[in-house]
Structure 1
């Protein structure tokens, strides 16, 4: 089955910026900050290694206003202004995607979530994975769509399907929206029902399944909770609507326009321009040499003691290096084993 990887561009760049802000600050020799772009590239590369997609799309927010601001003018109104060092990296990461040959898209009036949702729902015949740190996108999970959720830093990711979602949060994908309707979302300034938190929202949904059904059985709810629900009924339904990802956008491109055959060599020029020489794609360079490169999933076919095993890693000092995998030259072929596959080998 073909595989589509959808990236929530804004979410991933924010995570990359704040994950590296105090631990891995990077600037070029002329002072251009690049830490967020570096982190973004690292997360994207790891997702590509995990998913091995045939097609990729990176979706971006196009800015305010969106159709949600027309519904509720204060939507996302409590967010602080972005750091200038982050703002200047948005066009740089777009430049990276163009150099790498990866499709990107944004559209005024909509958010990246809506682009991702529309793309996912029109591609039910392929396996779709969404890379994000935003739990709102968990509502898009279905039999053909999973979410690769960032958990910590740049490297910890968890693949969420319907079962994992229920085991972790106790809800179904559609109930992600109902949770927001009841408890709101301070990050997006979605009001919900004042005084209803996560535990209360979960208890109500476990009993009544949906916000609509909660209000259909409002007379069964007792005491202060009933008063809170009745007082903020309009907010609950508005919040439900604000939290729902729109999945019916008419996108001006096809799935074929998102074709991915590997990171393109032009990206090495980008790395040189922004002084990220440690990210030069060594695997791509090896493919260009006279010996072919073949990716393998384990070492069983080798007598490793008789081979030269070369690490593929960044060019930072030894203790700061990041290891990507191993290259093994043998009989006019270069075999490549990723770190993930090497760790899974039990021999």
Structure 2
């Protein structure tokens, strides 16, 4: 009864850079991201045999409520027109990927003013397990749960191999309790999202605090007390950056209660639009990749 949740933007970026740009359609248009997305999805279905699946999208990659909390959020990724910077040859492939999987009958979910991470967290933590989350984004380590059997298929090594992240993997990698990655990330920060963390505290200090405390609120309460347990040097840095510390939990935590539309998460038993699928397959020269996915789905 495995549920496979795909962080779609993370995957199409990975396959775009992992597949040769010599892969083109019959008319010469790049299809490396399209073919890569199909092929990796087929490989994951073969490996994990899910019976439920969803492609998760950003309703907004920079939600207004996160920007209101912290105006610098993802500022580093902005283009002049306030959209997210993407490689020129990837951008036109994205709607084709979405159209293909819609024609294949895959559930596709995105909610206005929420990121794909929030949609994934809501599904991962509220649907019955096992759940496997496909991403190249460390942010989603915070949804890992041995109790709920939620693991991350982490694509950091590229599209040909991955790590299967559980709580012991996190504990060994970061020297923290495996269920406290979210707290660790709040303190350490993430330059790729424009998040500084607690200024002056690096990975070692973040791990020290994540081992000692279970939440940012408990850290703030401790350093604000008359007899803090936190070492003086770390306490001073937290107090100096208290404004950020107070926002960090809401800013960095994935939302786990997004209102999602009603959708059937069952693996489709056949395409929802065979004609559209055939047209896309022919237009972009995708016969081999589509057949590979159809074979993984065990369609007759």
TM-score using structure 2 length? 0.84
Which deviations, in whole Å up to 9, do the C-alpha atoms of 1:184-208 show, x marking residues without a partner?
Answer: 1111112211121111111222233
Relative to structure 1, is the Cα distance of residues 269 and 263 closer, same or farther in structure 2, using a 3 angstrom cutoff? farther
Relative to structure 1, is the Cα distance of residues 112 and 284 closer, same or farther in structure 2, using a 3 angstrom cutoff? closer
Q: d(CA) in 2 for partners of 1:198 and 1:161?
A: 20
Gaps of 5+ in 2: 79-84
Q: Shift in Å at residue 283 of structure 1?
A: 8.3
How many pairs does the alignment contain? 284
More strand by proportion, 1 or 2? 1
Q: Shift in Å at residue 284 of structure 1?
A: 5.0
Q: d(CA) in 1 for partners of 2:296 and 2:108?
A: 28
Which deviations, in whole Å up to 9, do the C-alpha atoms of 1:220-253 show, x marking residues without a partner?
Answer: 4445433322110221231232110111112111
Q: Shift in Å at residue 34 of structure 1?
A: 1.4
Which deviations, in whole Å up to 9, do the C-alpha atoms of 1:289-322 show, x marking residues without a partner?
Answer: xxx99xxxxxxxxxxxxxxxxxxxxxxxxxxxxx
Q: Shift in Å at residue 167 of structure 1?
A: 2.5
Relative to structure 1, is the Cα distance of residues 270 and 132 closer, same or farther in structure 2, using a 3 angstrom cutoff? same
- Hey, what does 2:3 align to over in structure 1? 4
Q: d(CA) in 2 for partners of 1:104 and 1:127?
A: 20
Q: Shift in Å at residue 154 of structure 1?
A: 0.9
If asked which structure has higher relative contact order (CA below 8 Å, sep 6+), I would say: 2
Task: Indicate if the aligned counterparts of 2:198 and 2:238 stay in contact, CA closer than 8 A.
Answer: yes
Relative to structure 1, is the Cα distance of residues 108 and 202 closer, same or farther in structure 2, using a 3 angstrom cutoff? same
Q: Tell which structure's C-alpha radius of gyration is larger.
A: 1
- Hey, what does 2:211 align to over in structure 1? 206
Task: Indicate if the aligned counterparts of 1:191 and 1:239 stay in contact, CA closer than 8 A.
Answer: no
Is 1:75 the counterpart of 2:78? The answer is: no
Q: Say which of 117, 122, 135 aligns to 2:121.
A: 117
Which deviations, in whole Å up to 9, do the C-alpha atoms of 1:33-87 show, x marking residues without a partner?
Answer: 2111222122211111111111111110123444212322221111152122121
SS in 2 for 1:53: coil
Gaps of 5+ in 1: 294-347
RMSD between aligned alpha carbons?
2.7
- Hey, what does 2:82 align to over in structure 1? none
Is 1:102 the counterpart of 2:106? The answer is: yes
Aligned positions of 1:281-292 closer than 5 A: 281=291
SS in 2 for 1:108: coil
